[in-house]
Structure 1
């Protein structure tokens, strides 16, 4: 015979309505009472029927995650597994599940989002990056559907809650770090210029150079995919130059790993011949050869705050628009060295 709310209420010595409120995590119930009810639920092996609750409340208790490409490509980059850890933990605390959508083409991803919204399959949506002229963002704004962006929206900044780093400042500081090591020929390897994060990091790099009295050399700016192959392609182009750079700002650790592997093939030593600062500070940066100096953007926190703020918007439609900036810091390792001309 299955355990019911009434059985839990009897053991906890509370009303069945109190048990229902505890399950819904109502702020009207004291923490002491909540704990008593939860202990009773655990003792009896009672598990709330969330499907029935969803039908009654017209809420799915599911957050939709919009990945920026097909799963086989996206999950090559550890950024996404790290951000998912933060999203998952934050959602779990409020008893929300996650539903992910991917696609090989932008049109496929867009259509999946429309199906999510119109079919009311999720209560809200998290976009895991921000594009120029983002069709999905415009659609969600037009439908007034709850959503949060990881990254900075290209437009309608004051209408969209977003969680981001100060990428302009982070890239400026990464470039300044290399400048303090006496490097003047500093190249930038970034992702697509359709991504706002690339635009911001390129701007920070440019600002640091200009403040140091150095004119940006367009040959030193390369854009590729945030993948190992992108890093390999970029460094191959830079090494062909008559005056190759002595240092690199690489906008993603996975790209930097590709750079390191290609440099090893060419017999170029890091940091003896070339210094590198990259971004994200994922696990393998400590284990690469040499270990990479990287800007830690606290990826877990980006995901955690995104889910937390989306749930706030879902549960309180009057929640104000927020811009949450996650702090960053440069983690120094062995991939940089002071430049000394021969």
Structure 2
């Protein structure tokens, strides 16, 4: 008969209990991990309520934001508000000072932000391009920007990207916005009414195609677009690659004609300090709903993950970059 020390016999006797305890702990850990994975997408997004600064109520920015809002709210499980504004310049100010979580802005307005503030900004996506539109009555003698001298011209709402680019276009032909025209600062909705009743001679607009307010005007009253494309090269030389020559197609508006113009990209913008997971999920929602929104806002059909990462003059937010990498082939 062999002799086994008591301490050794006790160790062997305890082994089943140790193994059982380890297995129980392992199963519990697996359940916790599985629960976390399955419920993560149902949890409210870090960062609390979300606000999106858009633009004038009759513009493409605001329409796009209104269609995006319920989708963001459903995906993020938080309250999402869409706030009208004067446009790009005001949106950037709101994002920078924290009164808006996200904002839509043209790339030229972003580039115009002082470097100290721009360093705090990050891009979520390049969305679609705005087309610069100078709208006049069809019988107007205005055939080029220089013909606006002395006339009553809508230059966009205060704080808009429209006003920024109008000032630059006038400067390219040797004119000053304050001295050489009668500037009227209102949104595109009111501008169409004022052009129709004859209290203004022309209006500038920067927006996706087609812009609803301009389309409604053209459907019931004869208007035309003035060619601006010949200034694209000079604008690029002066202000950088945010501008490119483009063409408004003839079918953009009722009774329209193909018109060379200038285009500028729109960016969805936030701050560098915004929570990575929040930005990742916003990026996902924007990209996964582009076709549904595009059925109602034609410009949104151009939102594309392959081009959304080209957000110069801003770098991508880390959360947005994480989403784009996750879907990269």
Q: Between Structure 1 and Structure 2, whose CA radius of gyration is higher?
A: 2
| The two structures share one fold, judged by TM-score above 0.5 | no
TM-score computed with the length of structure 1 as normaliser: 0.42
- In terms of fraction of residues, the more strand-rich structure is 2
Q: Which has the higher contact order (CA 8 A, sep 6+)?
A: 2
Task: Give TM-score, length-normalised by structure 2.
Answer: 0.43
